[in-house]
Structure formats: C-alpha cells, structure tokens
C-alpha cells in the first residue's frame, strides 16, 4: 500500500493492545479509505471502509475515534 496519500493517522492504545486509524487516498484511485487496525500479541485484525470523498473519509475517521474512545482506549494524532 502506498501511503503518499496519507491524510490522517490516529494511534490508540489500552494496556497491551495498540492500534491505528488511517485515512488515505491511493494515487491510482479516486476513492478514499479509512482503515482501523488493532495490534495484539497473537492477532491483528483490521477493518477498511471506502468513501467517495475526502470529507466522508474524515467523518468516518472521527466516528472511528469516537468508537475506540467509548471502548476505553486513549487516542493521539500522529
């Protein structure tokens, strides 16, 4: 994955679990993607959400931050 179109990166963590929320646009595509990845000792699941505009992708990023905060994670923009 080419990250030169990276728009936003937010890291979240709680105890031994850490993750990242990325919002980006690939150079070869008109769409935007918001990606949530979790890194734990034996697992690292991820969820991708496509958006047709940057504005929609930014809203999805904000919703994802709200979701992980509700689950008790601390967040920081990177």
Q: How many domains does the chain have?
A: 1
pTM of the model: 0.83
Q: Is residue 38 a part of any domain in this protein?
A: yes
- Is 53 contained in some domain? yes
- Of 24 and 6, more confident: 24
In a domain, 16, yes or no: yes
Determine, yes or no, domain membership for 1: no
Distances (CA, A) of 62 to 1, 5, 44, 52: 22, 18, 21, 16
**Largest Cα–Cα separation, the chain:** 38
pLDDT at 3: 54
Q: What is the residue range of 45's domain?
A: 6-73
- Residue 4 confidence class, pLDDT cut points 50, 70, 90: low
Does some domain include residue 78?
no
| Domain of residue 15, CATH code | 3.10.450
Residue 13 is assigned to a structural domain of this protein? yes
pLDDT at 64 over 90: yes
The pLDDT tens digits for 7-52 are: 899 999 999 889 999 999 888 888 899 999 999 888 889 999 999 9
Convert 20-29 to b/e letters by CB count within 10 Å (16 or more is b): bbbbbbeeee
């Amino acid at each position: 994955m080419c990250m030169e179109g990276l728009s936003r990166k937010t890291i979240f963590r709680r105890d031994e679990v850490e993750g990242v929320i990325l919002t980006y646009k690939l150079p070869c595509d008109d769409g935007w993607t918001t990606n949530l990845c979790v890194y734990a000792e034996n697992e690292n699941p991820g969820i991708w959400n496509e958006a047709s505009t940057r504005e929609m992708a930014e809203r999805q990023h904000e919703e994802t931050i709200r979701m992980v905060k509700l689950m008790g994670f601390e967040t920081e923009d990177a």
